[in-house]
Chain A
Amino acid sequence: MGDAIVVTSGKGGVGKTTTSANVGTALALLGKKVCMVDTDIGLRNLDVVMGLENRIVYDLVDVAEGRCRLQQALVKDKRFEELYMLPAAQTKDKHDVSPEQVRDIVLELKKEFDFVIIDCPAGIEQGFRNAVAGADRAIVVTTPENAAVRDADRVIGLLEQSQITAKLVINRIRPAMLKTGDMLEIDEVCQVLAIDLLGIVPDDEKVIKSANAGEPTVMDPSSRAAIAYRNIARRILGDMVPLMPLDEKSAGMFKRFRKFLGIG
Chain B
Amino acid sequence: MTDKQHITIKGVKDGLVFILDDRCEFSALLDELHYKLEKTHQQLLTGPLMHVNVKLGSRETTDDEKEQIKSVLRQQGNLLVQSIQSDSELQSLMGSNQQELKVMSGIIRSGQVVTHEGSLLLLGDLHPGGSIVCTGDIYVMGTLAGMAHAGSEGRMDVIIAASLLKPTQLRIADVISRPPEEWLTGDAAMEYAFLQEGVMQVDKTTQLFRMRREPLVYKGV
Q: Does any Cβ of A come within 8 Å of B82's Cβ?
A: no
Q: Does B125 lie within 8 Å of A194, measured CB to CB?
A: yes
Establish whether residues B129 and A153, one from each chain, have CB atoms under 8 Å apart when the complex forms: yes
Q: Is B128 close to A, CB under 8 A?
A: yes
The answer for the CA separation of A150 and B125 in the assembled complex, in Å, is: 14
B137 CB to closest chain A CB, in angstroms? 24
Q: Which of A72-80, A99-107, A154-162, A223-231 contacts B (4 or more CB under 8 A)?
A: A154-162
The answer to whether the Cβ of A253 comes within 8 Å of any Cβ in the partner chain is no
- Residues on B with C-beta less than 8 A from A263 are none
Interface of A is mostly: helix
Asked if A261 is at the interface of the complex by the 8 Å CB criterion, the answer is no
A5 and B128 CA atoms in complex are apart in Å by 27
A154 and B129 contact, CB distance less than 8 A? yes
Q: Measured between alpha carbons, how far is A228 from B130 in the docked complex, in Å?
A: 32
Determine whether B115 belongs to the interface, using a CB cutoff of 8 Å to chain A. no
The complex places the Cα of A194 from the Cα of B107 at a distance, in Å, of 9
Residues in chain A near residue B171, CB distance under 8 A: none
CA–CA, A252 and B128, complex, Å? 45
CB distance from B113 to the nearest CB of A (A): 11
Query: Is B125 touching A153 in the complex (CB atoms < 8 A)?
Result: no
| A108 CB → nearest B CB, Å | 32
- Chain B residues positioned under 8 Å from A251 (CB to CB): none
Question: Contacts A192-B127, A194-B125 given: A154-B110 contact, CB under 8 Å?
Answer: yes
Residues of B within 8 A of A151 (CB): 110
State whether the Cβ of B109 lies closer than 8 Å to any Cβ in chain A.
yes
Contact between A150 and B107, CB atoms less than 8 A apart: no
Interface residues on B, range: 10 to 19
Nearest-CB distance from A89 to chain B (Å)?
29
Q: Which residues of A contact B130 (CB under 8 A)?
A: 157
Contacts of B110 in A (CB 8 A): 150-151, 153-154, 157
Whose C-beta in chain B lies nearest to the C-beta of A124? B111
The interface bits of chain B over 104-130 (1 if a CB of A lies within 8 angstroms of the residue's CB, else 0) are 000101111000000000000101111
By beta carbon, the residue of chain B nearest A154 is B110
A188 to chain B, nearest CB (A): 12
- Assembly CA distance A192 to B164 (angstroms): 13
Q: Mark A135-160, 1 if CB is under 8 A from B, else 0.
A: 00000000000000011011011101
Proximity string of chain A (202-245) to chain B, C-beta cutoff 8 Å, 1 when within and 0 when not? 00000000000000000000000000000000000000000000
Complex formed: what's the CA distance from A157 to B109 in Å? 6
B103 to chain A, nearest CB (A): 19
A145-183 interface (Cβ within 8 A of B): 150-151, 153-154, 156-158, 160
A150 and B128 form a contact (CB under 8 A): yes
Residues from chain B with Cβ under 8 Å of A192 in the complex: 127
Give bound CA distance, A156 to B129, whole Å.
13
B-facing residues in A58-86 (Cβ within 8 Å):
none
A153 to B129, CA, bound (A): 9
Residues from chain B with Cβ under 8 Å of A194 in the complex: 107, 125
Q: Are B111 and A158 in contact (CB under 8 A)?
A: yes
Name the A residues within 8 Å of B112 (CB-CB): 157
Contacts of B109 in A (CB 8 A): 153-154, 156-157, 160
A120 to B204, CA, bound (A): 45
Residues of A within 8 A of B111 (CB): 154, 157-158
Q: State the Cβ distance, B69 to closest chain A Cβ, in Å.
A: 55
Cα A240 to Cα B128 with chains together (Å): 32
- The residues of B with any CB-CB pair to A shorter than 8 Å are 107, 109-112, 125, 127-130
Some 24 contacts from A to B, beta carbons below 8 A apart, are A150-B110, A150-B128, A150-B129, A151-B110, A153-B109, A153-B110, A153-B127, A153-B128, A153-B129, A154-B109, A154-B110, A154-B111, A154-B129, A156-B109, A157-B109, A157-B110, A157-B111, A157-B112, A157-B130, A158-B111, A160-B109, A192-B127, A194-B107, A194-B125
Known: A150-B110, A153-B110, A154-B111. 18 other contacts (CB 8 A): A150-B128, A150-B129, A151-B110, A153-B109, A153-B127, A153-B128, A153-B129, A154-B109, A154-B110, A154-B129, A156-B109, A157-B109, A157-B110, A157-B112, A158-B111, A192-B127, A194-B107, A194-B125
9 pairs of A and B residues whose beta carbons are closest in the complex: A157-B109, A154-B110, A153-B110, A154-B111, A153-B109, A153-B127, A157-B112, A194-B107, A150-B110
